[in-house]
Structure 1
Amino acid sequence: MKKQVEDKKAALLQAALNLFTEKGFHGTSTAQISKEAGVATGTLFNYFPTKEDLINGLYFDVKGKLSRSMSKDVDFQSTFKDKFRKMWYNLIEWGLNNQEDFRFVDQFCSSPYITNYTREVVMEEYVFYHDLVMEGITNGEFGDYPEGMIISMFYQSSRTIVDFILYSEPLDKNKAIEDGFEIIWKGLTKR
């Protein structure tokens, strides 16, 4: 029974992701999401009482996946630059391999659905990243920039590199990722 519940919820989240990135939040109805997921509309409301709850639930799900991907295989005993670079590579690879999810995060962050509560809940998933940024600030690796600015520059720059790789002429993907890292590294650090 639990598997069936998880399958329905996953189907609803996937259908919502597909439709929101294609038609937008306002252009997508809960009936369309239910139909795409192959469940009754009433079933959707069993999992997500409102459309806003569904949108936020999807955001939490996607950001959780991104968080796990960013920290994957990071050697937290290595140098600060190596940890920062590994998270960069992980973020870019995740964006390239999960383009719909990546677009959804951007779409959500520019929407009226994001609230301070949403931000706070999601940031709990990224303690490792905040700790790394604070390590860079405390150890003098970064220039005299606010933590939030560093985090935003890192993420927004990753979006630029993902788009560059996806929409440019054939190129050396790893070189583009490394060049992007060097640009962000030189821009944020004191070196």
Structure 2
Amino acid sequence: MPRPKSDDKRAAIMAAATQIIATQGLGAATAAIAKEAGVSNGSLFTYFDTKADLLNQLYLELKGEMGAAALGGLPDADGRAQMLHMWSRWLDWATTNPHKRRTLAQLQVSDEITASTHGVAGQTLAGMGEILERSRASGPMRDVPAALVFTLCNALAEATIDYIIRDPGHTEQHKRSGFDALWRMIG
């Protein structure tokens, strides 16, 4: 009879994978991830069938965490206020979780992440997409494909996050400047 899986061990593997991928890249050995997690390499494969399975599960977990952070405490307000809230929380998550942000960026472009996983992640972030859609409904980007608008928003967020990291003493100013640019683009 196989041993029951431990939520703590799975969480340790996910945290270790985040750390190792952020520092070593997607080519990092599963043995390094297992060692960082304090489990045997064989135990890692008790939780994940393959390295690709681990990467896909990690991608979903990080996307879900980012989305939950962005939407947490969402005010019952107009589209601009909701968009500002989501923007601010998204940037806060990214700047306080640099390893998660770096790992997520690598996973986002990895061929190991399946179309199905990307689809599930999209559903996970549906709340963010709904706010973006409402925000751009009567703006200059209303007729542009949603995927392009989201890509542009993400690029603006990444640039703003990078700037905040380089100049943390002016975080709120940079968040506001980035949002003002975003709102001029979509609002």
Q: Under a length normalisation based on structure 2, what TM-score does the superposition of the two structures give? A: 0.92
What aligned pairs does 1:1-191 form with structure 2 within 5 A after superposition?
A: 5-26=6-27, 28-75=28-75, 77-138=76-137, 140-143=138-141, 144-168=143-167, 171-189=169-187
Q: Which amino acid aligns with 1:152?
A: T
Task: Tell me, in whole angstroms, the C-alpha distance in 2 between the residues paired with 1:12 and 1:132.
Answer: 33
Task: Tell me, in whole angstroms, the C-alpha distance in 2 between the residues paired with 1:134 and 1:183.
Answer: 17
CA-CA distance at 1:110 after TM superposition: 2.0
Structure 1 counterpart SS, 2:125 = helix
Task: Tell me, in whole angstroms, the C-alpha distance in 2 between the residues paired with 1:100 and 1:142.
Answer: 35
Task: Tell me, in whole angstroms, the C-alpha distance in 2 between the residues paired with 1:64 and 1:117.
Answer: 15
Q: Which amino acid aligns with 1:153?
A: L
Q: 1:47 to 1:142 in 2, by over 3 A?
A: farther
Task: Tell me, in whole angstroms, the C-alpha distance in 2 between the residues paired with 1:90 and 1:142.
Answer: 25
Task: Tell me, in whole angstroms, the C-alpha distance in 1 between the residues paired with 2:99 and 2:81.
Answer: 28
Q: Which amino acid aligns with 1:73?
A: G
Task: Tell me, in whole angstroms, the C-alpha distance in 2 between the residues paired with 1:54 and 1:46.
Answer: 11
Equivalent residues, number: 184
Q: Which amino acid aligns with 1:182?
A: D
* Structure 2: gaps of 5 or more residues: none
CA-CA distance at 1:142 after TM superposition: 4.7
Identical pairs, percent = 26
Structure 2 counterpart SS, 1:165 = helix
Q: Which amino acid aligns with 2:35?
A: K
Deviations 1:123-176, CA, capped at 9 Å, x for gaps: 1111211222222344x13523221122112222111111111123x5421011
Structure 2 counterpart SS, 1:184 = helix
C-alpha contact 2:52 2:113 (8 A) present in aligned 1: no
Q: Under a length normalisation based on structure 1, what TM-score does the superposition of the two structures give? A: 0.90
Question: In terms of mean alpha carbon deviation, does 85-94 or 109-118 score higher?
Answer: 109-118
Question: In terms of mean alpha carbon deviation, does 12-21 or 110-119 score higher?
Answer: 110-119
Q: CA RMSD in A?
A: 1.7
Task: Tell me, in whole angstroms, the C-alpha distance in 1 between the residues paired with 2:180 and 2:41.
Answer: 48
Task: Tell me, in whole angstroms, the C-alpha distance in 1 between the residues paired with 2:170 and 2:41.
Answer: 46
Q: Which amino acid aligns with 1:150?
A: V
C-alpha contact 2:63 2:125 (8 A) present in aligned 1: no
* Structure 1: gaps of 5 or more residues: none
Deviations 1:1-43, CA, capped at 9 Å, x for gaps: 97x70110011011111111111111x1111111111111111
Task: Tell me, in whole angstroms, the C-alpha distance in 2 between the residues paired with 1:132 and 1:175.
Answer: 23
